[in-house]
Chain A
Amino acid sequence: MKKQRKAVALISGGLDSMLAAKTIMEQGIHVEGINFFTGFCVEGHTHAIREKDKARPNRNNALWVAEQLGIKLHIVDVIEEYKKVLINPKHGYGAHMNPCLDCKIFMVNKAKQWIVENDFDFIITGEVIGQRPMSQTKSKMPIVAKQSGADDLLLRPMCAKNLPATLPEIEGWVDREKLHDITGRSRKPQFEMAKRMGIDDYSQPAGGCCFLTDKYYSAKLVDLWQSQGSKEYELDDIMLLKVGRHIRPKANFKLIIAREEGEGRFLQGYKKDFISMHCSSHTGPLALIDGTISAEDLYFAASIVARYGQGRNAEQVDINVIDKDGSERTIQVKPLKEEEIHKEWHV
């Protein structure tokens, strides 16, 4: 009896990995999905926090894709292991702090470990030659296969016909003729393929699926590392970079000021970890103080926070300051004027 072959598909939640998985499923291969959570995934976070994003579908697209395909999805927490990828990427960063090539090698390597542990036969990804400048080029694809250790167990169904045959093709587990030959940045072939496969709803994240490709997020990460004097982070650090207005008026501290109610509620959860403040005489946002702060700095910080509340034009406002141990006091400050908030303070 012919052995039922099994493949694990790297599912990002986007269209390409969905089509790649579907292509292989149509050849009678048992497919399960795997999704890696690095801490920088765009999925879910900001719309869970910010009121303005509430209109977007409040779903995890990787889970949604798996459900549409009718396959299991294994979500793997790689937060700790991913640190070494981001902090010291062998192949360097892309346009921002995105170590795309190292990231892909890392994820395919994790998938390789997974198929060994779970008795699966090969790995599939939705990669397309020429789609991404750093990791999805014809010259980089063999690097991913080799350095991940996956070698010829890594099959890219979307562009397989433009690449050397892999073991699943050589062994006849899949029919190479039924694989695809897509290249380039155009999305048209994928849209046509989706239509042929009866897929009419899919996620198209405009800014990609990783915060590290975002210019503003990357600037905040660099600021975090510079202020610490080392390239280290914990999960809470990188979560907080996604939330609020970040203002560093002095090298020794930064303010994280909520921009709306949802962010304020999220920042409330960090009041035991940071000194926090908000205006008590007028409506105003919650702010966290990240860093070591002197008594003089505290008044300075309060005058900045006051600028972002309803009392911004008042002569004096009351600012409630809460220490990490919960003790509270109220200080009076004059809000800074708009022109006194230096542009370069904004991280």
Chain B
Amino acid sequence: MIKETLNARRLLCPLPVIRTQDKVKQLNVGDQLEVICTDPGVMQDIPAWCRINGHTVLETKSGNYEYIVTLEVGA
């Protein structure tokens, strides 16, 4: 299992979702991805994208105008 970080700061939705989607394609089942964003919309959009595509959100957190979603790649 590897854990990677994706910098999606300054991007507005749906671009953070698109970048997440593209990054996840390069990862394997069980790998983790931490996505760091500045658009608060990701707190809804990335979990929604994960739910419909079979990935698991491990954690969401925010502070100092940054929004971080950590997910685990599903099958």
Contact surface of B with A, Cβ cutoff 8 Å: 9-10, 12-15, 17-18, 21, 38-41, 43-45, 48-49, 51-53, 65
Contacts and interface: CB of A to CB of B under 8 A. Distances in A.
Contacts, number: 70
Contacts of B13: 43-45, 48, 60
B18 A47 contact: no
Contact of A67 (B12, B39, B52): B52
Given A48-B41, A265-B65, A60 B52 contact: no
Contacts of B15: 37, 77
B41 A73 contact: no
Interface in A149-202: none
B41 A71 contact: no
B75 to A, nearest CB: 13
A41 B15 CA distance: 11
5 contacts: A44-B14, A48-B13, A73-B53, A76-B18, A77-B15
Interface string A30-46: 00000101000101110
What bracket does the count of chain A residues touching chain B fall in?
A: 20 to 34
Interface string A62-80: 1110110011111111000
B49 A73 contact: yes
Nearest to A32: B52
A231 to B, nearest CB: 23
Given A45-B13, A60-B13, 9 more contacts: A41-B14, A44-B12, A44-B41, A60-B41, A60-B44, A73-B53, A265-B65, A269-B9, A269-B10
A48 B39 contact: yes
Contacts of A41: 14
B40 A58 contact: yes
A59 interface: yes
B50 to A, nearest CB: 10
A43 B14 contact: yes
Contacts of B52: 63, 66-67, 70-73
**Smallest CB-CB A-B distances: 4 pairs:** A44-B13, A63-B48, A48-B39, A48-B41
Contact of B48 (A64, A77, A265): A64
A233 B73 CA distance: 35
A314 interface: no
Nearest to A33: B52
A269 B38 contact: yes
- The CB with the most chain A CB atoms within 10 A, among B15, B39, B45, B52, is that of B52
A77 B21 CA distance: 11
Given A59-B45, A66-B52, A75 B21 contact: yes
